[in-house]
Amino acid sequence: MKSLTLRGWVTLIGLVVLALLPVFINRQLPLTILQQWPWLGGHFDFVTFLTGQEFYLVLATRLVILAIAAVSLNLILGYGRMISFGHAAYLGIGAYAVGIPAYYEIYNGFIHIGIAVVVSAAFAFLTGLVCLRTRGVNFIMITMAFSMMVFFAFVSIEEYGGDDGLVIEVRSEFGQWVNLENDTVLYYVCFVSLLGILYLIRRIVHSRFGMVIQGARGNEGRMQSLGFDTFRYRLVCYVIAGALCGYAGALLGNFTSFISPEMMDWTRSGELIFMVVLGGTSSLFGPVLGASLFILLEEILSGFWLYWQLIFGIFLILVVLFAKGGIDSWLGRRPER
Amino acid sequence: MDWTLLTVQLLNGLQFGILLFLLASGLTLIFGIMDFVNLAHGSLYMVGAFFCATLTQWLDSFWLGLLLALPATAVVGILVELIVVRHLYERDHLDHVLATFGLILVFDTLTQMIWGPDGQVIPLPAWLDGQISLGDAIEVPTYRVAIILIGLAVAFGLFILVTQTRLGMQIRAGASNRKMVSALGVNIGLLFSIVFVIGAVLAGLAGMMIGPITEASIGMGNQIIIVAFVVIVIGGIGSIKGAFIAAILVGLIDIMGRSYLDVLFKMFMSAQNAETSAPAVSAMLIYILMAVILAVRPSGLFGPRGR
């Protein structure tokens, strides 16, 4: 077996921790098994620390869902250099794709996910047709403006709660096998989704399609003169990222059980970008690390100071000024170009 | 047709457009000359409003408060430029966006620490608080007219500054070729700082003038800054003329859409449908306008071609 780099180890440990987290939290069977091994159960304070703390499961679920959103954003932002400042709109669309059918007492999860993915993809396609014609700062502002358009649309639709949001009382139903009402099951659905999407992104990035996207990031003119219609490639990439984030939104809707337009405010999109950049752009696992650090910092800081956002903002500025390449580069990855 | 309402709404639209222009002109200047995306521009708008509120309450005079809040906002602008922004000019847009996003968090939290979570009222002098009558039976709020007049004066001053003065010449030259300007011996760093501070003061002025209507509140800049972005994208980034025309257009369309779209919709759909769909569509109107304009001209109405 190939020896792992530091990054590889962090990735592996991160995934293992995420995979086993509910086992630590849930007091039942697995823990008693652990305790029969004194060399682990006896010394591992982490276990006793987490035991019975449902709160950490909630935190971890949010972390995993936002990691999916960050990973999907990284597909366009990192690999394609399309700096979308409106990615939170897809989270909102996905969440409302759960909330609005539930409002009409349709609880079938396959319908929810289907609507979330299809509507997100359609929105990405339509806005992409306009956005991708522009470059640079125009692209940033237009994606932001389109997400605000969705934001204001939901604010002004009184039927679905408008500004006040919508309460989802029943989570999506997926037949008898998967019961999302159980928090641990919901967590594992999110975690497996994250793994699946990471695999999907890996396949996309290493495919011919992904190569064209990355080639166009470096030098679009060159790709065009090689005969690639980069606009189409970009559009497809943009739609895939939107659809994946819509899926994450559907999970988020199930998780929070209260959705409001506030979740697609442009500052939310800014937070998603921060997660990606913090972790390291155009690396597969970087956004997951970024989302993790973001959520943990937010949780820790907000716990001990009312004005924690001040520290958060200063941290963000410092990361931009002094830590190019994010966590990934701290772990020994060479920054690009 | 209610002519009073129409006049008042037209004036409201014009006044909103003027405010947008004050914000957008700074944004577009900063972007045009420094290639710098400043999300924190809305924070300077908020800071201006809070300074004006406090100074007005202390000095018991709106005009004195306004006059003193302008240099105070300029100082904040200088500090921001010195401490953060200056180090970002050489970076790419993603870094600009993130760092200024961090600045927004810092400003919003600092404001909350200093002034508390509640909004601050800016009291108006009595003679501005009333109504002016225009012709028979049409009355409009005096203060809104004052905003329009001040805004137009500032716009005119800015136009003179950019087209007729030596500084304006340097600004325009810097916008078209930064390296050449610095090679010719212009202190480009100083020029950048000046432009940034001009932008900061304009944004602050916009905040001060809206303050008496909406009161100064935390995060007040975070919504309007998006509309200001829409304005500079429609107008073409870097163009003052484009920013002015687009700002008035967006202001009028937004306000008129909110007040008259349901009337328009009722002409060809049922009253109930019109009443549910009109608010949603009117909220999206300016974004639809932007999408249409960009679909036809990707660099905006007066944008530079082929950049």
Of the CATH numbers 1.25.40, 1.10.3470, 2.60.40, 1.10.3060, which one belongs to the domain with range A54-330? 1.10.3470
Q: How far is CA A274 from the centre of its chain?
A: 12
pLDDT in tens, A140-189: 888 988 898 898 888 888 788 778 888 888 888 887 777 777 788 888 88
Residues of chain A with CATH 1.10.3470: 54-330
Residue A270 to residue B230, Cβ atoms within 8 A: no
Percentage of chain A beyond pLDDT 70 is 88
Q: Does the pLDDT of residue A1 top 50, yes or no?
A: no
Subunit contact A317:B106, Cβ cutoff 8 A: yes
Of B97, B171, B155, which is closest to residue A138 (Cα–Cα)?
A: B97
State the greatest distance between any 2 C-alpha atoms of chain A, in Å, as a whole number.
65
Distance CA B47, CA B200 (A): 10
Q: What is the pLDDT of residues A271-287, one digit of tens each?
A: 999 999 888 887 888 89
The whole-angstrom separation of Cα A6 and Cα A10 is: 6
Picking from B95, B287, B300, the nearest residue to A148 by CB comes out as B287
Query: What pLDDT score was predicted for residue A89?
Result: 94
Q: How many angstroms separate the CA atoms of B220 and A236, rounded?
A: 36
pLDDT at A45: 45
Distance between alpha carbon A179 and the CA centroid of its chain, in Å? 22
Q: Does the pLDDT at position A65 exceed 90?
A: yes
> CB A309 to CB B105 under 8 A?
yes
Residues of B in contact with A276 (CB under 8 A): none
Q: Would you state the pLDDT for residue B267?
A: 79
Q: For A16-33, how does the pLDDT look when each residue is reduced to its tens digit (9 = 90+)? A: 888 877 776 665 545 555
Task: State residue B59's pLDDT score.
Answer: 87
* Other beta carbons within 10 Å of A33: 12
> Helices A6-25 and A54-77: crossing angle, nearest 10°?
150
Please state the ipTM of this predicted complex: 0.83
The reported pLDDT for the residue numbered A29 is 46
pLDDT at position A193 over 80 = yes
Q: CA of B101 to nearest chain A CA: how many angstroms apart?
A: 7
Write down the pLDDT at residue A47. 45
CA distance A153 to chain B (A): 5
Task: Give Cα separations from A56 to A51, A191, A251, A253, A285 (angstroms).
Answer: 9, 15, 18, 19, 22
* Mean pLDDT on A73-88: 91
Which tens digit of pLDDT belongs to each residue from B34-51?
888 888 999 999 999 999
Chain B residues whose CB is inside 8 A of the A323 CB are none
Subunit contact A152:B31, Cβ cutoff 8 A: no
Point out the residues of chain B with pLDDT beneath 50. Answer: 306-307
Task: Pick the residue of B46, B91, B105 with the most A CBs within 10 A to test the interface with A by mutation.
Answer: B105
CB atoms B88 and A267 under 8 Å: no
Q: Which is it for strands A166-167 and A173-174: parallel, antiparallel or unpaired?
A: unpaired
> What pTM did the predictor assign?
0.86
Q: Chain-wide mean pLDDT for chain A?
A: 83
A interface toward B at CB cutoff 8 Å?
A: 77, 83, 85, 127, 129-130, 133-134, 136-138, 140-142, 144-146, 148-149, 152-153, 155-159, 266-267, 270, 273-274, 277, 307, 309-310, 312-317, 319-321
Res. A240 pLDDT band, cuts 50 70 90 = very high
pLDDT band at A190 (very low <50, low <70, confident <90, very high): very high
